[in-house]
Amino acid sequence: MVAVMEGIIFDIQYYSIYDGPGIRTCVYFKGCPLKCSWCHNPESQNPDYEIAYSINRCKQCRQCIDHCDNNAISLLKNRIQRDIKRCRMCGKCVDCCPENALERIGKCISSDMIAEIVSRDCAFYKDSGGGVTISGGEPTAQVEFLKDTLKEIKNRDIHTAIETCGWFCREIIHDLSKVTDLFLFDIKHMNREKHKQGTGVYPDTILENFKEIVSEYGNGKIIPRIPLIPGFNTYSESINEIMAFLSEAGYSGIIHLMPYNRISLSKYGKLGKSDQFKDMGIQNEDELNMIIKKFEDNGFSVLCNR
């Protein structure tokens, strides 16, 4: 008997309408090799379990302190403090909290369980031409689990997509593409230094991987997605460079634009990472329209998630 593969996910979202064709279910894998300063899902970065804390729900009843076997929790300045060195992530504090102020981030799940859950929405995929998108974090950070999950889903005759930052080992493309119908592939910046500044890594591997997929599997297998981050990549030169790269890679067709928004602020707070939240500002509507027009003028068809 083949051992069932397990991995860590932090969310499943249903009726996703901006993550690939049709009505989709998005499964979010935990862990990401990049550290984008605008990251929407700060809970996705760390590959391990985390415990989030909503201070506005906490009534300071001290039950979590009493239940902790490792003396990792204390009450300081009207808020719960968890000593990460002592904490064993047993989750007893989460279970005993009467106000649900503590929340476990990350759930261990098997690939066939994922496939079983997502297949319940088959009727919706079928009518809308949708399917399942594995997102993250970075799904390829748990590559074996990813392949197995995709295989299980494909076995149930469901369209599969992965949403990737592109930072993965070139060798896996071949295997992945057997079980992936569509790569939603982030392109963030062409300037090496800027890219490193914004995401923590140089873009070389990412861009190579993009080219590889386009040349091996053609335009139909991939859609570039560009997060529009005010002040980072929305200026005209940056957009021009991105378009030049896409042409050079031989890509034409649809692109997804994803304007920045601030809704992740509360998530940073819950993880005790408020200091890491960087407000990138608001996307100017006129500028956005100009960017859309620019892409369209260059023959791309644009789907803007707004």
Residue type, 169: C
Measured from the CB atom, the residue of 67 and 211 that comes closer to other proteins is 67
**Contact status: 268 vs other proteins (CB under 8 A):** no
Q: Are strands 102-105 and 79-82 parallel, antiparallel or unpaired?
A: unpaired
Strand partners, 16: 24
Span 111-130, contacts to other proteins by CB under 8 A: 120-121, 123-124, 126-128, 130
Q: Choose, by CB under 8 A, the member of 1, 171, 263, 275 that binds other proteins.
A: 263
Count, residues near other proteins per rule CB under 8 A = 28
Q: Which residue has the tokens 């279910």?
A: 25
Inter-residue contact 20 to 133 (CB < 8 Å)? yes
Element (H, E) at 36: none
For 257, which DSSP code?
E
Q: Return all residues near 113 (Cβ < 8 A) that are at least 6 apart.
A: none
Measured from the CB atom, the residue of 4 and 17 that comes closer to other proteins is 17
**Contact status: 96 vs other proteins (CB under 8 A):** yes
Give residue 183's Cα distance to chain centre: 13
* Span from 12-20, 139-147, 242-250, 287-295 in contact with other proteins (CB under 8 A): 12-20
Measured from the CB atom, the residue of 118 and 162 that comes closer to other proteins is 118
**Contact status: 157 vs other proteins (CB under 8 A):** no
Closest approach, Cβ 263 to other proteins, in A, equals 7
In angstroms, rounded to a whole number, what is the distance separating the alpha carbons of residues 121 and 15? 9
**Contact status: 3 vs other proteins (CB under 8 A):** no
Q: What is the CA radius of gyration of the chain?
A: 21
Q: Return all residues near 189 (Cβ < 8 A) that are at least 6 apart.
A: 195, 198, 199, 203, 232, 233, 238, 242
Closest approach, Cβ 228 to other proteins, in A, equals 15
Give residue 302's Cα distance to chain centre: 21
- Show the binding pattern over residues 17-36: x = contacts other proteins (CB under 8 A), - = does not: xx---xx-x-----------
**Contact status: 93 vs other proteins (CB under 8 A):** no
* Span from 15-23, 64-72, 73-81, 84-92 in contact with other proteins (CB under 8 A): 15-23
Measured from the CB atom, the residue of 290 and 303 that comes closer to other proteins is 303
End-to-end CA distance of the chain: 47
Contact positions vs other proteins (CB under 8 A): 11-18, 22-23, 25, 95-96, 98, 100, 120-121, 123-124, 126-128, 130, 261, 263, 303-304, 306
